[in-house]
Amino acid sequence: MKTRLPMRIVLPSLLAGAILGSIYATMLWATRQSDQMSIARQERLVDVTVGKQQAAIAHDQESATVWDDAVRKVAARDQEWIDANLGRWMQTYFGHDGAFVLDASGSPIFSYLSDAPGAAEAFSKVDTYVVPLAEKLRQRLARGDEQGKTEQTLSIGESEIVAISGRPAILSAKPVLSDTGDLAQVKGTEAIHIALRYLDGDFAQTMGAEYLFADMRYERSKGGHAERLYYPIKSTAGDPLGFFSWTPFRPGTRALRQTEPVFVAGALLLLAVVSGFALVLHKRSERLMDSQSRLFHLAHFDSLTGLPNRASFTAEVSRRLAAGQAAVLFLDLDRFKQVNDTLGHPTGDKLIAEVAKRLSAVAGVDVFLARIGGDEFTAVAPAEQRDAVEALAEKLIGTIRQPFEIDGQPILIGLTIGIAFAEAAASDAQAIVRQADIALYHAKAAGRNRYAIFGQHMEGLISARRALEQDLRTALLEGRQIEVHYQPVYLAGDNRMISVEALARWRHPAKGMICPDVFIPIAEEAGLIDRLGDLVLQAALHAAKRWPDLGLAVNASPIELRHDNYALRVTAALNRHAFDPRRLEIEITESAVIDDDGTCRRNIEALRRLGVRFALDDFGTGFSSFGRLQALDVDRIKIDKCFIDQMGDAGSNEAIVHAIVDLAHARGLKTTAEGIETACQSRRLAELGCDEIQGYFLSRPVESAGIDAMVKTPALEGSDMARLTGLA
């Protein structure tokens, strides 16, 4: 008995120790495997990123090299044009560090390098690599090699990684080709455009920031830091050019450090167990607790962001109110629905997750942050100092206004916040939440990207909004209060009116003229936009019958375009008024470029077959791009007023406007500039090649009688137009 009793204690302890040792050894092995796999993935990501950059540079080149104008200007050796479109513009717009254009003999037509003072010095630095690369491409062109061309890749190319004066760089060669095929070019004699991008400048920092590599930088040689990872950069020929260096993410080591305390505690507990039955009970208990924890987490936390959900938020509001003062913040993302509509729900989910990370980083530990659904977040903060709560709101708005990058797509959204303060512990949680929601609505009505603090006057604003919605229903039923005004559109350069844009106006019997920015969102939210759109279309077609020499533009809401019968309704209106479909142009916004089920596209295609034209309104202010225009057939783009406002001033958007006009023309699209307010803007847009212009400098929107008078008047100067339309 004296010998068997200790064995009954020792044997279970030895068994437990052996089990624990095996588990820990497995954890160490798993840690090493996890770290190695993570490092391998990071190295593959760097390799893919460099390759992606090579493809991106080639794609950048094609925006200007596959262009009839480029063929002509290079043949004419127009240095100013080449510099503006194939040289420094590439650096300004795409971040390239150098550009070179070689003729059929391999001699430089144009040379530019960011770290060289002149063209000769620039070409002397790169000629050893540029000339052979261009010749290699030229030989492929001569024998008609088209390997690599696709629907997205318009021309073949060559790319290499080389060392330029000791600096690693990507060289990409592309031929200068006709985009229409109207210009005859002898194969093998085309001019060659070479783009250069250094890899040792800001490339490493940009890549690190984009893909979350810690402290990534370029180094000529290994620094001997054991904690850093060095990825060799090699030329296309295999020569070493340096290293990308960063502090690698080691998930296994991090997980081991986090779990070791728990493991030690479990080991001590397990060693204290002297029977297998107690060990089984312990493990069963742990599994039960783990299941309960998961169920609790699912019930109280949002699965997408990991933040507390609505139930947790409500409980936290009640808890904080019971303890004293609190501030409740309702946060709503601006333009998030547009992201979902244009880029898809998977991108929207990724954006929500990134938003949650930014909000959490700003909120800190004293603020309870939650997601209550969709693009809505809430927060409960200490309310002792109102200034601190307002400062928090400004920081939250500021962090969300910074651009996001999701899957390589830059995304700009905003944040609007409603704030309500509970002054005493006796405050009702439900009431304070409702007040924050009302304040949020008030902030959105005031222009978004801002915050508003609840005041008693806001209750009345909600009631006023409901009353305005009811008044709008009545106005649409009666049909007398809604008016259609027309803003003329002029041919750039000679101020000849060629079309009008129909605009809805609401003359309320008691409130007077109500701004479209107020009643159109109400119409969309209340399901009245179809009725409003039909009313405007019918009135505009009836009036435009009197102006047979003018085109007519009407606006269509994305909500209208998503209805299956939109094309039928427009067709019926055209037939009713015997109106030539070729005179009608429908202006749409970028959210119609991509729709989930293709209804918008089918409506547009049906109307285009009748001859109706389409224009993309407010181009450049959201997510629209020339690449996206391939998904939808339009005839015109309208350049938004924000690009026009500062034309002629230092630091203006003239280069962007010029690029939009040139690229639109290259794709066969017309351009219209909106918001012309000065003679300088009008003149400069004509010089840049913009087709049509409209704005208050030329004419305000006027009633149909005003257009009747203007149709009888020859082309006017800006000052005369101002007097005619009431500006002077």
pLDDT tens-digit readout, 398-417? 999 999 998 888 888 999 99
pLDDT tens per residue, range 299-331: 678 888 889 988 888 888 888 888 777 899 999
pLDDT of 156 over the 70 cut:
yes
Note whether 592 and 632 are within 8 A (CB).
yes
Please compute Rg for the chain using Cα positions: 33
Nearest alpha-carbon partner for 252 in 41, 447, 398: 41
Q: What b/e sequence results for 486-512 when a residue is b if at least 16 CB atoms lie within 10 Å of its CB, and e otherwise?
A: bbbbbebbebebebbbbbbbbeeeeee
pLDDT tens per residue, range 70-108: 999 999 999 999 998 998 888 888 889 999 999 989 999
Q: Of all residues in the chain, what percent carry a pLDDT higher than 70?
A: 87
The DSSP-derived string for 383-449 is: -S-HHHHHHHHHHHHHHHHSPEEETTEEE--EEEEEEEEE-STT--HHHHHHHHHHHHHHHHHTTSS
Residue count of the chain: 728
How high is the pLDDT of residue 221?
86
pLDDT of 232 over the 60 cut:
yes
Note whether 330 and 381 are within 8 A (CB).
no
Note whether 652 and 646 are within 8 A (CB).
yes
How high is the pLDDT of residue 281?
54
**Phi and psi, residue 560, nearest 5°:** -65, -45
How high is the pLDDT of residue 628?
55
Note whether 485 and 503 are within 8 A (CB).
yes
How high is the pLDDT of residue 723?
44
Comparison of pLDDT for 283 and 3, the residue scoring more: 283
How high is the pLDDT of residue 725?
44
The DSSP-derived string for 573-616 is: HHHHTT--GGGEEEEE-GGGSS-TTSHHHHHHHHHHHHT-EEEE
pLDDT tens per residue, range 240-251: 888 988 888 888
pLDDT tens per residue, range 660-677: 899 889 888 999 999 898
- 3-state DSSP assignment of residue 728: coil
In which residue are the tokens 């880029």 written? 343
Q: What b/e sequence results for 657-666 when a residue is b if at least 16 CB atoms lie within 10 Å of its CB, and e otherwise?
A: bbbbbbbbbb
pLDDT tens per residue, range 496-507: 999 999 999 999
Note whether 178 and 61 are within 8 A (CB).
no
Note whether 578 and 606 are within 8 A (CB).
no
Comparison of pLDDT for 341 and 566, the residue scoring more: 566
Going from the C-alpha of 639 to that of each of 285, 317, 642, 679, the distances in angstroms are: 66, 47, 8, 17
How high is the pLDDT of residue 439?
87
How high is the pLDDT of residue 249?
82
The three state secondary structure string of 247-313 is: ECCCHHHHHHHHHHHHHHHHHHHHHHCCCHHHHHHHHHHHHHHHHHHHHHHHHHECCCCCCECHHHH
- 3-state DSSP assignment of residue 699: coil
Q: In whole angstroms, what is the distance from residue 508 CA to residue 473 CA?
A: 12
Q: At what angle do helices 4-65 and 203-211 cross, to 10 degrees?
A: 130
**Phi and psi, residue 456, nearest 5°:** -60, -25
Confidence of residue 5 (pLDDT cuts 50, 70, 90): very low
Going from the C-alpha of 337 to that of each of 305, 359, 375, 408, 528, the distances in angstroms are: 18, 19, 8, 19, 19
The three state secondary structure string of 135-202 is: HHHHHHHHCCCCCCCCCCCCCCCEEEEEEECCEEEEEEEEECECCCCCCCCCCCCCCEEEEEEECCCC
Q: What is the mean pLDDT of residues 153-174?
A: 91
Task: Indicate the average pLDDT of the chain.
Answer: 84
pLDDT tens per residue, range 423-455: 654 467 778 888 888 888 888 877 778 998 888
Residue 683: alpha-carbon gap to chain centroid: 32
pLDDT of 593 over the 80 cut:
no
How high is the pLDDT of residue 149?
86
Note whether 444 and 353 are within 8 A (CB).
no
Cβ neighbours, 10 Å, residue 276: 11
**Phi and psi, residue 332, nearest 5°:** -135, 130
Residue 503: alpha-carbon gap to chain centroid: 29
Domains and CATH numbers, the chain: 4-45+252-300 (no CATH), 55-223+233-247 (3.30.450), 310-455 (3.30.70.270), 479-724 (3.20.20.450)
pLDDT of 719 over the 70 cut:
no
How high is the pLDDT of residue 177?
92
How high is the pLDDT of residue 211?
82
The DSSP-derived string for 327-351 is: EEEEEEEETHHHHHHHH-HHHHHHH
Note whether 193 and 173 are within 8 A (CB).
yes
| CA angle, residues 219, 220, 221, in degrees to nearest 5 | 90
Nearest alpha-carbon partner for 416 in 361, 376, 360, 387: 376
Q: In whole angstroms, what is the distance from residue 631 CA to residue 588 CA?
A: 14
State both tokens at 140. Answer: 């492929």
Nearest alpha-carbon partner for 126 in 98, 86, 105: 98
Q: Find the range with the poorest average confidence among 188-192, 355-359, 483-487, 721-725.
A: 721-725
**Phi and psi, residue 250, nearest 5°:** -115, 90
What is the sign, positive or negative, of the torsion defined by CA atoms of 89, 94, 96, 100? negative
**Phi and psi, residue 62, nearest 5°:** -65, -20
